[in-house]
Amino acid sequence: MAVADPQQTHYLKTGEEYVKSLQDDREVYYKGERVEDVTTHVATGGGIREIAAVYDDQFDSQAQNVLTYVRDDGARVTSSYLIPRTRDDLRFRREGIKHVARSTWGTHGRGIDMIATLPLGMLGELPSFKRECPEFAENIHWYLKHAEENNIHLGETIVDPQGFRSRAAGTAPETAPPERATARIVKEDATGIWISGVKGVGTCVPQANELILGSFHPPLDEESFWVYVPVDSPGLRMFCREIVHRPGTSAYDHPLTSRGEEIESIVAFDNLFVPRERIMAKGTRSLHGVNFYNVWARLEHWYTFVRIVAKAEMYVGLAQLIMDTLELGEIPVVRQRVADIIEYCQILQALQLAAEDLAELSEGELMIPDVNVVTAGRSYALDNLPRILHILQDICGQGMILRWSEKDLETPAAFGKNLGWFLDTRNMSARDKNLVMNLVWDVAASEHATRSKLFEESNALNVPFLKERLYGEYDRSKFLEECRHFIGLGPAPERTFTPHILAPSLSSVTNTKGDDPFANGSKTRG
């Protein structure tokens, strides 16, 4: 790694400093036992090393051009918290996001710069936060500076556990605490608030420095808050799911899954103290609701899309590697299957460019990529992802499953030849062919691959929700008018195209009580 100017003032952590920053009092459990040190534990250590490599890249003379930037005061800082004001800022960030995605084959949905989009998104809607909750809105500036200057890796816990629905936020407000499971404010004084309850999923939280805690559907004032807290705060506990990577196996046998993973955990809060400066909003139901979230989290929406585009580009590279390895390039039918992957990638790349070109300033003057293009892009990408993974598997034929250890390849098989002799191709030794197939297995068929696909599909609106969102937000009034005009119908009744997801089980709570003023276009932003 070529090391950039060590003399320059900076607010960057090296990989080692990031690892040290996690050796604190955090309370993490794996299979019922307390994890002493997340940086060395079998469940979390590998993923942490993968993230640390990205922290180190910030000092690489090439990579630092996309992962960092020089502030007006001359200090070099992470680009994670760069406030995008222009389309060029978005293009710059896009390359940083792709660099982070490529470092783990896109399997870390929470790259070091991902949840950074949430405090930025709050800034993008600062007028709403100021109007609805003036007491805390200015803390958004404080938090962004703090996070930037401490090179913070952030996690997110918003969605409730999948237990009794009547115990979750957004449903059955008549179920009084403490029978409700959802996180809520249990005490407050002039110094801050105390929160108790449980959140269902926090990807990467045991491997992060801090997390944002909030809710989509809080029907009660005491369940309405947006706060940022350090992961080692007393009273915060994380319970990790079973791992899907293969610690201890060789990088040859499992080029991707031997390395590590970002881990999901349930996150519990037992009288968690949050000081006032870490509260961005409190007791303000209008700053919750999935429709308002979909407004201020548009940068997160875009980030997720860019990561998928980076993966599509890698699928194209992998497909060609398979073609070269198995000498399939002359077979038209197989070429067409690879062309399907290229087409998928090109459509996504085109949408990525369109989202940047059509970007507009938000109320808080952040440049925000075109939301409908991003929604359509994510929906298209996820709808077609199973087909693309299937093509990758299919063009491997027997190769993806018939994989061998190096020792197997050296074992005598027939007429004096080792097994490897029968598996060599014109372009590749059996050993290298096997390595390629090992990668395809890890990327497209392993448990790790399944988790990664599940993450893309579920973590931030699945395909039906994305389509619902597109239906609600895409302004097609001009096309409607043209149709009506063609057959002599008068103008259509006026309608607004605002963030609008109807969540049937929740809408009766959020809409009738007026908790979500951003739903149904009943109140436009600003």
Ligand X SMILES: Cc1cc2nc3c(=O)[nH]c(=O)nc-3n(C[C@H](O)[C@H](O)[C@H](O)COP(=O)(O)OP(=O)(O)OC[C@H]3O[C@@H](n4cnc5c(N)ncnc54)[C@H](O)[C@@H]3O)c2cc1C
Give the nearest distance from C-beta 438 to ligand X in angstroms.
24
Give the nearest distance from C-beta 415 to ligand X in angstroms.
50
Instruction: Print the binding letters for residues 109-148 with ligand X: x by CB under 6 A, - otherwise.
Output: ----------------------------------------
| 250 in contact with ligand X (CB under 6 A) | no
Toward ligand X, which CB reaches closer, 326 or 503? 503
Toward ligand X, which CB reaches closer, 158 or 443? 158
Position among 402, 454, 483, 492 found at the interface with ligand X (CB under 6 A): 454
Give the nearest distance from C-beta 209 to ligand X in angstroms.
15
Which contiguous run of DSSP H or E holds residue 299?
helix 298-326
| 524 in contact with ligand X (CB under 6 A) | no
Toward ligand X, which CB reaches closer, 282 or 448? 448
Toward ligand X, which CB reaches closer, 158 or 309? 158
Residues 6+ apart with CB under 8 A from 325: 399, 425, 427, 428, 432, 433, 436, 437
Position among 158, 183, 319, 326 found at the interface with ligand X (CB under 6 A): 158
Q: Using alpha carbons only, how large is the chain's radius of gyration in Å?
A: 25
| 264 in contact with ligand X (CB under 6 A) | yes
Can you give the length of the chain in residues? 526
| 21 in contact with ligand X (CB under 6 A) | no
Give the nearest distance from C-beta 115 to ligand X in angstroms.
8
Minimal CA–CA distance to 287: which of 158, 373, 461, 152? 158
| 462 in contact with ligand X (CB under 6 A) | yes
Burial of 520 from C-beta contacts in 10 A (0-12 / 13-18 / 19+): middle
Region from 343-351, 364-372, 427-435, 500-508 binding ligand X, contact rule CB under 6 A: 500-508
Report the alpha-carbon distance of residue 210 to residue 36 in Å, rounded.
19
Give the nearest distance from C-beta 247 to ligand X in angstroms.
19
| 503 in contact with ligand X (CB under 6 A) | yes
| 336 in contact with ligand X (CB under 6 A) | no
Position among 9, 162, 336, 508 found at the interface with ligand X (CB under 6 A): 162
Could you give the 3-state DSSP secondary structure of residue 455?
helix
Give the nearest distance from C-beta 64 to ligand X in angstroms.
28
Instruction: Print the binding letters for residues 182-201 with ligand X: x by CB under 6 A, - otherwise.
Output: -------------------x
Report the alpha-carbon distance of residue 78 to residue 67 in Å, rounded.
6
- Per-residue b or e along 157-192, where b marks 16 or more CB atoms closer than 10 Å to that residue's CB: bbbbbeeeeebbbbbbeeeebeebbbbbbbeeeeeb
User: How many residues bind ligand X, per CB under 6 A?
Assistant: 18
Report the alpha-carbon distance of residue 178 to residue 174 in Å, rounded.
12
Position among 78, 196, 203, 511 found at the interface with ligand X (CB under 6 A): 203
DSSP code string of 484-519: HHHTT--PPPP---------HHHHHHHTTTT--TTG
Report the alpha-carbon distance of residue 210 to residue 336 in Å, rounded.
46
| 159 in contact with ligand X (CB under 6 A) | yes
Report the alpha-carbon distance of residue 517 to residue 113 in Å, rounded.
30
- Between helices 371-394 and 447-458, what is the axis angle to 10°? 160
Assign residue 31 a region: left if phi > 0, alpha if psi is -120 to 50, beta otherwise? left
- E-strand ranges in 125-276 read 154-157, 184-189, 192-203, 210-213, 225-230, 236-240, 264-275
| 459 in contact with ligand X (CB under 6 A) | yes
Position among 304, 455, 469, 515 found at the interface with ligand X (CB under 6 A): 455
Query: What's the CA angle centered on 381, arms 375 and 383, to 5 degrees?
Result: 100
| 312 in contact with ligand X (CB under 6 A) | no
Position among 202, 260, 364, 399 found at the interface with ligand X (CB under 6 A): 202
Residues interacting with ligand X, by CB under 6 A? 156-159, 162, 201-203, 264, 454-455, 458-459, 462, 503-506
